[in-house]
Chain A
Amino acid sequence: MSSLIAADRICVRFGEDEVLHDVSLQISPGEIVTILGPNGSGKSTLLRALLGIVPVAEGRILRQAGLRVGYVPQRLTIDRTMPITVRRFLSLPVRVTDAEADAALVRVGMAGHGQDQMIALSGGQLQRVLLARALLGKPQVLMLDEPTQGLDQPGEAAFYRLIEQVRRETGAAVLMVSHDLHVVMAASDRVICLNGHICCEGTPRVVSTAPEYRALFGLGTQGALALYRHEHDHEHRPEDGHHHHPHDHGHHHA
């Protein structure tokens, strides 16, 4: 098996609701895959199914034996009653040495923040610390669930550049979920559009080649963002049982 982790025709149901239908996906070493889709399209569920948090009703999740996965959750709300420093957080649940922790913080641009309280971090800082923690496990696959939610565009671009750099330095594959239907990480090797099932797959169009887009995205992004054009080549025939999926997710305001 050359792929690190794969979903083989999986269905996920919550009670009566089928959240994911017949989804297949493979992640190969070193590639960056972006999953996007509207709210409620099952993006996070797909990630959680790959991680084994959510059970699949049908199909299989295939993981390479001993696969090391780093996970950056969508959000981490730490109760204000829990005092915890960034340094302590990095050692959960596996203890790391101070040198390892420092190196991880340097890599994500958070050097010197080890003694900060977690609840005092800004949204962008918290994402970076979550990434640092994920990297400490030396992951072969990094899974990120809407890591740029709540960041402004320069913040988003900076985070994407960081992910790209991590991939370059560690060779880790990256699977990222994004809520933005049109603007994706430029370094994505593949973009998968999900809406309960896989609607389309493609590659992002690099924005930096088009001056008008560059103007639109400002100069601060340095080519980290790209556009994705949806090309839904399949019709949803009534007999395939999925005509109830409206395919109007955001194409109008493109």
Chain B
Amino acid sequence: MLDDFLVRAGLAAVGLSLATGPLGAFVVWRRMAYFGDATAHAAVLGVALALAIDLPIGLGTLVVALAMAVTVAGLSARGWAMDTTLGVLAHSALAFGLVAVSFFPTVRTDLSAYLFGDILAVSKAELGLVWLGSLAVLALLVWRWSALLTSTLSEDLAHAAGLRPDRERLVLVVALALVVAVALKIVGALLIAAMLIIPAAAARSLARTPEAMAGLAVLIGAIAGLGGLGLSLWQDTPTGPSIVVMATGLFAVGALVRRA
């Protein structure tokens, strides 16, 4: 069954949404959209690094994304003007990454795979990594759920309850870096943040509790993944953007359902 590239692609999309659903909910609640962008864009720099020192691409991405996420989290804790700082970091990471990658001629031809994803070319090993990474993120979030949610609502309430909001922030940073490493192959660096935000935003209008919103975001992400795959096959469109287009469609439907 796994020999069929379509089955692998479908499973990869569903696996990824297990992580992007709940993590995306936190990205939306904590207004970390730009933060997600900065981390995701750093992935391209990670690709260049991995090629330069002959590391697996996933590992290079993970390391650079983690470094970026920790840097940004550190700066925001020190009260920098986050909008500007994130803008500088996000776009420069992308630009430096693209310039660095262009030094490797073999990748140059394949650059769009890193920018927009190449889910149809997911190998069995990569599929395994997607599921491993996504389940790790999911397990991390489930484990810390109550503390994360309390810290998100109010850092003071969390403190007073004996929790450590700064530690919970770090949990999200690590989870974000993991998701970026996992999602690069599937939706590409430019649209990872979209996969975090759009399904969660679509779920918002339908949910009454945080848990329901996270669960619905998983469902919407999975449907968008499979639907985008279908769209891509049918119209020969790039798969990553097709998935995001489907997610946006579901978001619009959700908003209309809410209105009605």
Cα distance A115–B212 in the bound complex, in angstroms = 14
Contact A117 B208 (CB under 8 A): yes
Summarize B's interface: helix, strand, loop or mixed.
Answer: helix
Contact A83 B213 (CB under 8 A): yes
Contact A85 B161 (CB under 8 A): no
Interface flag for B100 (CB, 8 Å): no
B143 to chain A, nearest CB (A): 13
B147 to chain A, nearest CB (A): 6
Interface residue ranges of A68-95 to B (CB < 8 Å): 69, 71, 73, 76, 78-79, 81-85, 88-89, 92-95
Q: Answer whether A92 and B208 are a contact pair too, CB < 8 Å, given A53-B159, A79-B31.
A: no
Contact B161 A78 (CB under 8 A): no
A117 to chain B, nearest CB (A): 7
Number of A-B contacts (CB under 8 A): 68
Interface flag for A51 (CB, 8 Å): yes
Q: Answer whether A85 and B209 are a contact pair too, CB < 8 Å, given A51-B160, A93-B149.
A: yes
Interface flag for B71 (CB, 8 Å): no
Interface flag for B210 (CB, 8 Å): yes
A residues contacting the other copy or chain, number (CB 8 A)? 25
Cα distance A12–B75 in the bound complex, in angstroms = 24
User: Which A residues touch B31, using CB under 8 A?
Assistant: 79
Interface residue ranges of B91-119 to A (CB < 8 Å): none
Contact A73 B156 (CB under 8 A): yes
Contact A78 B213 (CB under 8 A): no
Partner of B210, one of A48, A88, A94, A95: A88
Contact A84 B161 (CB under 8 A): no
Q: Answer whether A83 and B208 are a contact pair too, CB < 8 Å, given A92-B146, A93-B150.
A: yes
Contact A81 B160 (CB under 8 A): no
User: Which A residues touch B161, using CB under 8 A?
Assistant: 71, 93-94, 137
Contact B160 A83 (CB under 8 A): no
Contact B210 A81 (CB under 8 A): no
Q: Answer whether A81 and B204 are a contact pair too, CB < 8 Å, given A53-B160, A93-B147, A93-B161.
A: yes
Interface flag for B163 (CB, 8 Å): yes
Cα distance A41–B136 in the bound complex, in angstroms = 47
Smallest CB gap from A89: residue in B = B153
Q: Answer whether A82 and B160 are a contact pair too, CB < 8 Å, given A93-B150, A117-B208.
A: no
7 A-B pairs within 8 Å (CB atoms) are namely A71-B160, A76-B153, A79-B31, A82-B210, A85-B208, A88-B210, A117-B208
Q: Which residues of B pack against A, CB within 8 Å?
A: 28-31, 146-147, 149-150, 152-154, 156-161, 163, 201, 204, 207-213
Q: Which residues of A pack against B, CB within 8 Å?
A: 48, 51-53, 69, 71, 73, 76, 78-79, 81-85, 88-89, 92-95, 115, 117, 137, 143
